[in-house]
Amino acid sequence: MKKLYLIALFISICSACYPQETISISPDLELIQISDNAYIHLSYETIPDYGRVGANGLIFIEDSEALLFDTPWNDSLTCELVTYLEDQMGLKIRGFVPNHWHADCMGGLECLKHKGVVSYANQATIDIARRKGLPVPDIGFTDSLELKLGETPVFCFFPGAAHSMDNIVVWIPSEKLLFPGCICKSLDARTLGNTADGDLHSYPGTVDRIIEKFRQAEIIIPGHGLPGGQELLTHTRSLCR
């Protein structure tokens, strides 16, 4: 009975957050509309010990311009995504922000640099990227950043260490959409996942701050798995125990 309930719950979440058909750009790259002006880009990579893993990123669109949050896993998939957005959807990418330094967030940054897309990141992300010899985002911020796409504001916040020491969240008030990325777990997650580069001691307090600050969020996108609502944050908080 419990299994049937969970299946029904996931179908309900999927229907609410995926109102349109998935656009298959390539075997490892999909695009899914989740609100009037926002899409999830879903990319897949085979990871040792984990198998084929899907990772979520976000695209926010205003008229013919877009902001990109997280890249697909690598430069090849990222260039496929950018080409599709430009050629098939007629969009100009005005900026990029990664959630944190891992490959499922900025593994395609070199592609964006070659295409002249300006990138913003938590200063801690920039510092880590430099230490690890990774491509480095252009502009750093501490605590928070406000971007505008047209006249629409988009906010990036550092809520504290959790999945990684540098992870941020993205809040788009016009869509009531929150993208906490890998800080937040999908409802089928049974653990906090990979926390090797994070802070388990700080994780609960970080999630509590996100819950308190973003009570108006109606669409919440985890780093991996299905999106949902506030229940994703409360589920993540329960996993911290």
Q: Answer yes or no: 114 catalytic.
A: no
Catalytic residue chosen out of the listed positions 41, 182, 184, 235: 182
Catalytic residue chosen out of the listed positions 37, 163, 167, 235: 163
Q: Judging by beta carbons within 10 Å of its beta carbon (0-12, 13-18, 19+), is residue 123 exposed, middle or buried?
A: middle
Catalytic residue chosen out of the listed positions 104, 105, 166, 184: 104
Catalytic residue chosen out of the listed positions 100, 156, 167, 235: 100
Residues across the chain: 241
Question: Would the CA dihedral through 34, 52, 187, 199 be positive or negative?
Answer: negative
Q: Answer yes or no: 79 catalytic.
A: no
Catalytic residue chosen out of the listed positions 28, 102, 167, 184: 102
Catalytic residue chosen out of the listed positions 28, 75, 122, 185: 185
The angle at the Cα of 58, spanning 34 to 178, to the nearest 5 degrees, equals 75
Q: Answer yes or no: 185 catalytic.
A: yes
Catalytic residue chosen out of the listed positions 113, 127, 194, 208: 194
**CA–CA gap between residue 188 and residue 203 (Å, rounded):** 19
Q: Answer yes or no: 194 catalytic.
A: yes
Catalytic residue chosen out of the listed positions 17, 111, 224, 235: 224
Which residues is 39 bridged to in the sheet? 33, 59
Residues 6+ apart with CB under 8 A from 21: none
Q: Answer yes or no: 104 catalytic.
A: yes
Catalytic residues: 100, 102, 104, 163, 182, 185, 194, 224
